[in-house]
Structure 1
């Protein structure tokens, strides 16, 4: 169930739908709280969170999404304890190693947003191999945000745009990490928090929002379908009447 009432979250008065979403982004929040509720270490929650990523990626492909963007590791996450960061990087290695062949077989294209080059050399090598092996795929694009911060992304894009000519919204947008993706339609956040946490600030300007109390490890394809159904029932006006 969404935390935000329909009248606040963007449903038009007429209740008319705007069709299906092409691009959905998710702030995957609540792994630590999920583990704490079970009196388990945070790593247990992160491991279950990886399983949920796998399930939702498969569901997104089955639901016909063109792009799914997941907030995996923010530029602010480096402030976490070293052992937790090590666990997260270990799960990232495991995910790429175990799921790359499935991506290739199912026509999924992998993209990375954020500066992943600062990660451990072996992870960078794995990422670049995964990007290369899936580059020609034409199905759903899975964009994973690694060492990503939206404010930093916008600053980089503006600087690159300035080198090429006048700074306009169009010029900045062309330099964003997501320039190759469809416009963002729907942004989902799990765990009951209602904020963007420096994620896709530019891209979310006219995206619909869907917040749920469900912790990420408990998020299922049925929750994704609920969010998409609510999106389809909203009237998107983009500042018009």
Structure 2
């Protein structure tokens, strides 16, 4: 048992229980909810009833839960959901398993402070994230315009999949060839690297030669377009973890430039 209750770890496990319900405790090897609460509580230094209460606190988020759905989320519960909502079941299962095996693991240590409600970060950090989003959106819209004009480097019907959450931005359909998958990245300058989410990188690996990376550089000035086929095979990406709950694969600007030539 930890020297002190590890409430950050409990919050992650409780969220996993609430989000995936019965399949969550069963996958972790428990036969009943009672057994799950007792064992998790013992490992993380809290009572089993506390684990159950934390799980029930997420009820308003999930329609299959029938407990405290009528009450609003607390600020901490909403914050935890915002951090974990995009983490798929497989990744969340690994995180929970590691926390239960060793609450003092690297993942456990990184949780300290991450899941607590903190004061807003420096304005510079917040605006940097907003700027990346603005640059990416501008690049996507410019790519659509280029495709309509026949200057995107691709031929076929371009279907917008940005809101589908499928690991790519556009699906290219052409009756003369199999469907092609396009991921669009934008950079403010000519020498910026780019990042893939874990799902995007997984899809890139799975689709192989049917997956295309399009990099729009200098989006707000004089944009140039780079097209790289099968980036998972030809780019050297380094995996990194962010606050435990997110993973991405980063490709340097040098590696991008060595694998394609600008076409605009």
TM-score above 0.5? no
Q: Which has the larger radius of gyration?
A: 2
TM value normalised by structure 2: 0.25
Which structure is higher in RCO with an 8 Å CA cutoff and minimum separation 6?
Answer: 1
TM value normalised by structure 1: 0.27
